[in-house]
């Protein structure tokens, strides 16, 4: 054997002269004496000079090679001899165990990410598979593709979802500081978030995220949420509870969990939880009361300019109202509210916002009585109308032969002026109701057209344009009724009279069969008068309450808070009553009345068209 050593040394010298000395391990000349033969197991040394191990000797990894002659079955290379911490992390985690299970040895598992021992690159080397820019593709070997490990609930792979996040987009744009997989999950000790000893557990995310977002992390740790984590409260939210994990996006993007459109839903995951509310004595109605307010409704409808949870409570610096540093501390409310309501902040500072929305704060007592009034009035009025018309319909529909005339006077046709007024009223009233209820129920299917044409801004604009048209019509109608001869005649005929008190009982008695003769009613009877004066009264209520709501900053600066609260209640419930009355009362007398059906044509052609087999003087005009 010894006689071959000079030959081996000679061959090693030749090979050493053929490449730079720095490209080989310190003992390579000796090893290559045997391992340079192409027919043998030749080491791959072409890339060794650029590898992470270029300063190591062969025997540093191949321990058995130090013995000569070599053992017939040399031991495996063990990366854990030098990389003890990495090996321990890999062996001590569920993720590592699954990774090792697919490899024949620890070293082979290491090579899966870092490459072979002769060409293993440092993670700072762009050519390394573990380089931060290459990590999505590397991790995607398991967590990507058509059948990824641990896919998300929507079916996407972890790598696919990452690449769509703000971090993934930054990485695709070549930002060298963009957070990669190992920045959050670590490199070797990869654990689930529920395990405490992991960078992505709720209590550790502020520190993990703080490596890049130091200012935000520092603010968060002083907040009530951050203090909760420090106290070991596992339910306290960390960074990922609000921002998400593999779905982190910029707050300005609609898909972000912290966007203005959905932040109330994000906060609701804790603040509407019955379990958390009971455990930590948190009021359970904070999100629901906000959602029912103008801010919440407008936000649901797509208005991103209205206040949301973070507008008042802050983002990373959320503190209880009792904290002097809180944005909602009484000493700061004027400034906080004044950001959106200039001049009104001082008055709003005296209001317990969520309690008022819930009906227990300042101003809510007046709103409570206003709401109670309508809750009693609406069913009483509608039931009275239904009872009246339910008696009239079968009496006319089942009558044998023509009915006796209902009117004492000759039918009066609508003039062109009156028909034009009715048309404008019908248009403005319908669109006002539609756009108004679309605010109250922004996610209803029938409110979708506003989302198609601009969201809440389009709804708000159409509502205000129709309100202006409605007001102008009101002034025009007032001038018509007061300044023209025909209008004054209409007004005199529409004034309430004593007979309006007993005519309803006569007609009801006749419809019940208690009276044999059908009562004669004047051209403008209690039927028309009730509707006309209800329209006048309702118009005044809606214009006044709507004006207060539109000019809310002025109202907040000059009126008591209960005024705005009452107007909000009245404007909605008066609209409910008006729309219901149109369907129950008005449409019956101009469409479904058997004497009129299929409709009273006066609103189009100025004269009533009667059915041939039902002759009467009923006109049904407004």
Distance CA 435, CA 202 (A): 43
- Which of the listed residues 362, 396, 416 is the one where a domain comes to its end? 362
Please check whether residues 331 and 467 belong to one and the same domain: no
Q: Which of 220-229, 359-368, 455-464, 577-586 comes out lowest in average pLDDT? A: 359-368
What does the buried/exposed string (b/e) look like for 48-64 if buried means 16 or more CB atoms within 10 Å of the residue's CB? beebbbeebbbbbbbee
pTM above 0.95, yes or no: no
DSSP string, 15-76: HHHTS-GGGS-TTHHHHHHHHT-TTS-----TTGGGSTTTTS-HHHH-GGGGSSSPPSSPPP
Check residue 592 and report its DSSP letter.
I
Q: What is the pLDDT of residues 525-556, one digit of tens each?
A: 999 999 999 999 999 999 999 999 999 888 88
What rounded mean pLDDT belongs to the chain?
83
Helix (H, G, I), strand (E, B) or coil at 417: helix
Residues with Cβ < 8 Å from 207, sequence gap 6 or more?
199, 217
The answer to whether position 416 is within a domain reads yes
Given a cut of 60, whether residue 189 has pLDDT beyond it is yes
Please check whether residues 324 and 402 belong to one and the same domain: no
Identify whether the C-beta of residue 549 lies closer than 8 Å to the C-beta of residue 564.
yes
Q: What is the pLDDT of residues 258-267, one digit of tens each?
A: 988 888 889 9
pLDDT, residue 28, reads: 66
Please check whether residues 525 and 578 belong to one and the same domain: yes
The answer to whether position 464 is within a domain reads yes
Where residue 471 sits, what CATH number does that domain have?
1.20.950.20
Distance CA 30, CA 485 (A): 123
Given a cut of 50, whether residue 617 has pLDDT beyond it is no
| Pair of tokens at residue 428 | 């403005």
Given a cut of 90, whether residue 224 has pLDDT beyond it is yes
Please check whether residues 408 and 506 belong to one and the same domain: yes
Please check whether residues 464 and 426 belong to one and the same domain: yes
pLDDT, residue 406, reads: 62
Q: Report the residue count for the chain.
A: 622
The answer to whether position 412 is within a domain reads yes
Please check whether residues 305 and 386 belong to one and the same domain: no
Distance CA 158, CA 151 (A): 6
347 band by pLDDT with thresholds 50, 70 and 90: low
Distance CA 461, CA 337 (A): 24
Identify whether the C-beta of residue 563 lies closer than 8 Å to the C-beta of residue 548.
yes
The answer to whether position 226 is within a domain reads no
Given a cut of 60, whether residue 229 has pLDDT beyond it is yes
Please check whether residues 391 and 475 belong to one and the same domain: yes
Bridge partners of 407?
A: 521
Please check whether residues 570 and 469 belong to one and the same domain: yes
Please check whether residues 311 and 400 belong to one and the same domain: no
Please check whether residues 355 and 391 belong to one and the same domain: no
The answer to whether position 459 is within a domain reads yes
Average pLDDT over residues 365-377: 92
The answer to whether position 489 is within a domain reads yes
The answer to whether position 273 is within a domain reads yes
Please check whether residues 452 and 589 belong to one and the same domain: yes
Please check whether residues 382 and 264 belong to one and the same domain: no
Instruction: From 433, 451, 429, select the one nearest 442 (Cα to Cα).
Output: 451
196 band by pLDDT with thresholds 50, 70 and 90: confident
The answer to whether position 588 is within a domain reads yes
Residues of the domain holding 101: 76-120
How many domains, in total, are found in the chain? 4
Q: What is the pLDDT of residues 269-309, one digit of tens each?
A: 898 888 888 888 888 778 888 877 778 877 777 778 888 89
Given a cut of 80, whether residue 38 has pLDDT beyond it is no
Given a cut of 70, whether residue 346 has pLDDT beyond it is no
Helix (H, G, I), strand (E, B) or coil at 407: strand
- Which of the listed residues 332, 362, 392 is the one where a domain comes to its end? 362
């Amino acid at each position: 054997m010894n006689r071959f050593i000079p030959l081996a040394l000679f061959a090693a010298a030749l090979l050493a002269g053929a490449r730079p000395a720095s490209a080989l391990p310190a003992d390579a000349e000796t090893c290559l004496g045997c391992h340079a033969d192409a027919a043998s197991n030749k080491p791959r040394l072409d890339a060794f000079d650029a590898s992470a191990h270029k300063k190591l000797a062969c025997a540093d990894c191949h321990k058995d090679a130090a013995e000569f002659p070599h053992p017939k079955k040399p031991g495996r290379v063990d990366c854990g001899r030098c990389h003890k911490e990495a090996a321990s992390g890999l062996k001590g985690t569920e993720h590592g165990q699954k990774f090792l299970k697919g490899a024949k040895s620890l070293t082979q598992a290491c090579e899966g990410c870092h490459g072979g021992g002769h060409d293993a690159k440092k993670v700072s080397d762009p050519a390394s598979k573990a380089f931060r820019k290459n990590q999505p593709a590397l991790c995607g070997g398991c967590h990507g593709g058509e059948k990824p490990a641990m896919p998300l609930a929507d079916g996407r792979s972890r790598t696919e979802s990452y690449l769509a996040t703000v971090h993934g987009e930054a990485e695709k744009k070549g930002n060298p500081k963009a957070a990669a997989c190992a920045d959050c999950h670590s490199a070797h000790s990869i654990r689930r978030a529920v395990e405490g000893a992991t960078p992505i557990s709720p209590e550790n995310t502020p520190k993990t995220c703080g490596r890049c977002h130091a200012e935000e992390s520092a603010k968060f740790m002083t907040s009530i949420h951050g203090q909760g984590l420090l106290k070991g409260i596992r339910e306290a939210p960390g960074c990922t509870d609000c921002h998400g994990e593999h779905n982190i996006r910029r707050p300005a993007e609609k898909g972000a969990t912290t966007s203005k459109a959905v932040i109330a839903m994000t906060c609701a995951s804790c603040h509407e939880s019955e379990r958390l509310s009971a455990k930590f004595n948190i009021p359970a109605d904070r999100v629901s009361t906000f959602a029912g307010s103008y801010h919440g409704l407008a936000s649901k409808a797509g208005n991103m300019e209205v206040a949301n949870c973070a507008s008042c409570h802050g983002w990373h610096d959320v503190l209880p109202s009792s904290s002097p540093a809180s944005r909602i501390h009484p000493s700061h409310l004027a400034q906080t509210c004044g950001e959106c309501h200039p001049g009104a902040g001082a008055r709003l500072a005296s209001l317990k916002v969520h309690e008022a929305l819930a009906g227990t704060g300042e101003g809510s007592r007046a709103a409570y009585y206003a709401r109670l009034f309508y809750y009693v009035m609406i069913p009483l009025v509608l039931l009275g109308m239904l009872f009246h018309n339910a008696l009239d319909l079968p009496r006319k529909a089942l009558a044998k032969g023509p009915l006796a005339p209902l009117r004492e006077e000759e039918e009066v046709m609508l003039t062109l002026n009156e028909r034009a007024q009715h048309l404008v009223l019908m248009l403005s009233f319908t669109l006002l109701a539609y756009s108004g209820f679309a605010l109250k129920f922004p996610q209803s299917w029938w409110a979708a057209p506003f989302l198609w044409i601009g969201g809440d801004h389009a709804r708000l604009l159409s509502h205000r344009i129709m309100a202006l048209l409605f007001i102008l019509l009101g002034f025009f109608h007032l001038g018509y009724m007061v300044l023209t001869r025909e209008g004054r005649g209409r007004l005199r005929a529409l004034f309430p009279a004593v007979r309006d008190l007993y005519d309803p009982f006569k007609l009801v008695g006749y419809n019940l069969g208690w009276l044999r003769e059908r009562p004669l009613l004047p051209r403008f009877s209690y039927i028309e008068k009730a509707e006309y004066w209800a329209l006048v009264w309702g118009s005044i209520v809606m214009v006044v309450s709507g004006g207060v709501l539109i000019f809310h900053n002025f109202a907040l600066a000059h009126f008591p808070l209960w005024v705005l609260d009452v107007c909000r209640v009245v404007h909605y419930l008066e609209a409910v009553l008006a729309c219901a009355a149109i369907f129950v009362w008005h449409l019956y007398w101009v469409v479904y009345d058997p004497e009129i059906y299929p409709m009273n044509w006066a609103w189009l052609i100025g004269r009533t068209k009667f059915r041939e087999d039902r002759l009467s003087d009923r006109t049904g005009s407004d």
